Amino acid sequence: MTTHSAVLGAGSWGTTFAKILAEAGNHVTLWARRPEVADAINASHRNEEYLPGIGLPATLTATTDAQEAITGADLVVLAIPSQTLRGQLEGWRAAIDAEATLVSLMKGIELGTTMRMSEVIVEVTGVSQDRVAVVSGPNLAHELADRQPAATVIACTDSGRAKRLQRTTTTPYFRPYTNVDVLGCELGGAVKNVIALACGMAEGMGFGDNTKASLMTRGLAETARLGQALGADPQTFAGLAGLGDLVATCSSPLSRNHSFGVRLGQGASLAEATAATRTAEGVKSCRSILDLAIKAGVDMPLTEQVVRVCHASVLPAVAVKQLMGRETKSETA
């Protein structure tokens, strides 16, 4: 099934997803904020700044005119930093076709409102929830741009729409599964960034695999606890958008959240780590996730310590001491 797709955001994941759509046989227009990025994609089929060494299909075209990309598109894919979505979408919504499917690639929770990205999309555009799909899973952009095989989840409350999107995006190296649990998939994608910051810090402090496995496992436990309180399907957290993405992000040097954490663990300041890393969603979303947890009455000790390190100048070593000094308890409590 061929679509006309607009991908809004020509960073590493937006460009990679546009490449996947184009290689699956769709017509794709990629919106880039900067003319030099759009020009390089059109002239040399490259986006070296975000995807070094990767050739892009000649059928993939870029523009800096978002209206041009959106007009007539039956898939509108959003791939910009989470905290910028609301402002951008307000300028784009009028051009979105009445029947279009809106697809979120973003993994963050909005500061202040504690809304998930699909909720921001519904609120700003006024589309019904069943027109919004979320793509989430172990999808490090550069590996997929290099056509290394991976699976993902397409979550949408309209399972028919999810299946159509699944057919539209399947390639020999990209295997999407469908799920109707949008809430669980979005929480899995956002919270794993916070746990990846913690794993990075552990690595930066010189700790090994026991520490990282403990952080991943207890990180997943607190993600599932939040999900259960908010009404997510517990099975989602054992799937690609839960465990799968958590393992990939917490283990990979390609992850910006992981690298950001490594820098903090090695003693860099927040400003130094920010200057050295692109979009590390967990740094901002840790605060909105903690707000969400407090509202829901859920204990998220790892997230709480990441917030303290990132936003209250607490040293990672002090955060470790706090975590390890808590009262002992049952694993299933």
Ligand X SMILES: NC(=O)c1ccc[n+]([C@@H]2O[C@H](COP(=O)([O-])OP(=O)(O)OC[C@H]3O[C@@H](n4cnc5c(N)ncnc54)[C@H](O)[C@@H]3O)[C@@H](O)[C@H]2O)c1
Ligand Y SMILES: O=P(O)(O)OC[C@H](O)CO
Q: Which is nearer to ligand X, 186 or 222 (CB)?
A: 186
Q: Which helix (H) or strand (E) holds 288?
A: helix 281-296
**Interface with ligand X includes 118 (CB under 6 A)?**
no
Number of residues that bind ligand Y (CB under 6 A): 14
**Interface with ligand X includes 110 (CB under 6 A)?**
no
Q: What CA–CA distances, in Å, run from 299 to 195, 291, 303, 313, 332?
A: 15, 11, 9, 21, 13
**Interface with ligand X includes 106 (CB under 6 A)?**
yes
Q: Which is nearer to ligand Y, 275 or 294 (CB)?
A: 275
Contacts 24+ apart (CB under 8 A), 231-239: 231/183, 232/181, 232/183, 232/184, 232/187, 233/181, 233/184, 235/181, 236/179, 236/181, 236/184, 236/185, 236/188, 237/184, 237/188, 239/153, 239/177, 239/179, 239/188
To the nearest whole angstrom, how small is the minimum distance from the Cβ of residue 100 to ligand X?
A: 19
Among 212, 256, 287, 308, binds ligand Y (CB under 6 A): 256
**Interface with ligand Y includes 255 (CB under 6 A)?**
yes
Q: Say how far apart CA 320 and CA 150 lie, in whole Å.
A: 33
247 burial via Cβ count (<10 Å: 0-12, 13-18, 19+) = middle
Q: Say how far apart CA 244 and CA 200 lie, in whole Å.
A: 17
**Interface with ligand Y includes 257 (CB under 6 A)?**
yes
C-beta neighbour count of 321 within 10 angstroms: 11
**Phi, psi dihedrals of residue 86, rounded to the nearest 5°:** -55, -50
User: What are the beta bridge partners of residue 114?
Assistant: none
Q: Which is nearer to ligand Y, 61 or 82 (CB)?
A: 82
Q: What CA–CA distances, in Å, run from 194 to 123, 237, 282, 323?
A: 25, 15, 5, 15
- Which residue in the list 192, 295, 321, 329 is annotated as catalytic? 192
Q: What's the chain's length in residues?
A: 333
Binding mask 92-131 for ligand Y (x = CB under 6 A): ---------------x------------------------
Binding mask 128-167 for ligand Y (x = CB under 6 A): ----------xxx---------------------------
Binding mask 141-180 for ligand X (x = CB under 6 A): x---------------------------------------
**Interface with ligand X includes 278 (CB under 6 A)?**
yes
For ligand X, which residue has the nearest CB? 11
To the nearest whole angstrom, how small is the minimum distance from the Cβ of residue 160 to ligand X?
A: 24
Is 295 a catalytic site residue?
no
Residues that bind ligand Y (CB under 6 A): 107, 138-140, 193, 196, 245, 248-249, 255-258, 281
Q: Which residues of the chain form contacts with ligand X (CB under 6 A)? A: 9-14, 33, 50, 79-82, 84, 88, 105-108, 139-141, 278-279, 281
Which residues are catalytically annotated? 192
